[in-house]
Amino acid sequence: MSGATGVPVRLLRRRGAPEEPLPEGEALVDRFGRVHRDLRISVTDRCNFRCVYCMPEEGVAFRPREELLTYEEITRVARVAKALGVRSVRITGGEPLVRRDVPTLVAQLAAVGFEDLALTTNGTRLAALAEPLAEAGLQRVNVSCDSLRPERFAAIRRRGDLATVLAAMDAAEAAGLHPLKVNVVLLAGVNDDEIVDFAAFARRTGRVVRFIEFMPLDAEGRWAREQVVPAERVLAEIDAVWPLEPVPDADPSAPAERYRFRDGGRGEIGVVASVTRPFCGRCDRLRLTADGAIRNCLFSDDERSVRELLRDGASDEAIAQVLRAAVGAKRAGHGMDDPGFLRPQRSMSMIGG
């Protein structure tokens, strides 16, 4: 027999009943042998920017607040994921810091005991929250910044200003959130003349600058392959000025290929080449959307919701089964080059990066 959620009745429990702990360290392994240790948690689909590669400037419809998971619900899913071998969590959005009291969620997740706890932000509210986030247990941040030229920054983001984001980076480092990573989405003919400028920024600040290929996840559906600035070009342009070499012993499951400056200069360069050099074969990530869907790939519409399970009193084992099912259904790759590839129905801001 099954309950209203489709989960066997034996896996549902009465509210308030004792929970039997899951065996710690049970691995989430897919059909291709990939072990999933990383969980990206989106806390909101809202954002105070309207970046040209992500969201339309006006007319964005957001999820009703009652559909979003509470911090306690998010933490419960994260706790189950940890019992299944997840070791790293990143908080995302939308823009996560537009949701109220994110340090409270950070403290709850930190208490679960993850090895790595990070957050990706556009930086607009980071300066004021850097210390509370660090005190709550956040370890590091990724800050999005697509131009070092104020007018161009404003044109790409359509809201906000560069000075605020740069000040936020300083505040984050002062609070002990490091290494600080700077995410740069490159668009051909828009900001691709700043590749070497960002490399100089990495050397000057000692920060990690990561160049991200433009992916078909924009809400307006205007992505075109000719807008992609390939990682190969990025590395060649920087290497011509400051020779690069791979970072030894880099995490093979990480999405970014990492490079350091051969002359010993400070900082680091990363490329996230989802389009031209897919890293699907080493992907170890699952995603929890703000409204409670488990996704095994950014580019797949295969979703399994845990929200009703959480609200209907399901057991931890029932939630674990959803995570296992998501991993078990994961495809070998995102299929972007396949003739039948279909863009995901949800955009990046709705999924969480």
CA distance 274 to 277: 6
The answer to whether 55 is annotated as binding is no
The answer to whether 277 is annotated as binding is no
Residue 133: alpha-carbon gap to chain centroid: 17
The answer to whether 266 is annotated as binding is no
Bridge pairing between strands 303-305 and 293-295: antiparallel
The answer to whether 94 is annotated as binding is yes
Instruction: Give 216's Cβ-side CA count (13 Å radius).
Output: 17
The identity of residue 115, as a single letter, is E
DSSP reduced 3-state for 238: helix
The answer to whether 145 is annotated as binding is no
Instruction: Give CA torsion, residues 261, 265, 267, 269, to 10 deg.
Output: -20
- DSSP states along 210-232: EEEE--S--TT----GGG---HH
131 Cβ contact partners less than 8 Å away, ≥ 6 residues apart: 171, 175
The answer to whether 181 is annotated as binding is yes
- The closest of 310, 282, 247, 281 to 70, measured between CA atoms, is 310
The answer to whether 51 is annotated as binding is yes
The answer to whether 300 is annotated as binding is no
The answer to whether 283 is annotated as binding is yes
The answer to whether 295 is annotated as binding is no
The answer to whether 88 is annotated as binding is no
> What are the beta bridge partners of residue 320?
none
59 Cβ contact partners less than 8 Å away, ≥ 6 residues apart: none
The answer to whether 144 is annotated as binding is yes
CA distance 316 to 301: 24
Range list of H helices, 113-256: 126-136, 150-157, 162-174, 195-205, 231-241
The answer to whether 289 is annotated as binding is no
State the binding site for [4Fe-4S] cluster: 47, 51, 54, 280, 283, 297
State the binding site for GTP: 40, 90, 120, 181, 285-287
State the binding site: 40, 47, 51, 53-54, 90, 94, 120, 144, 181, 215, 280, 283, 285-287, 297
State the binding site for S-adenosyl-L-methionine: 53, 94, 144, 215
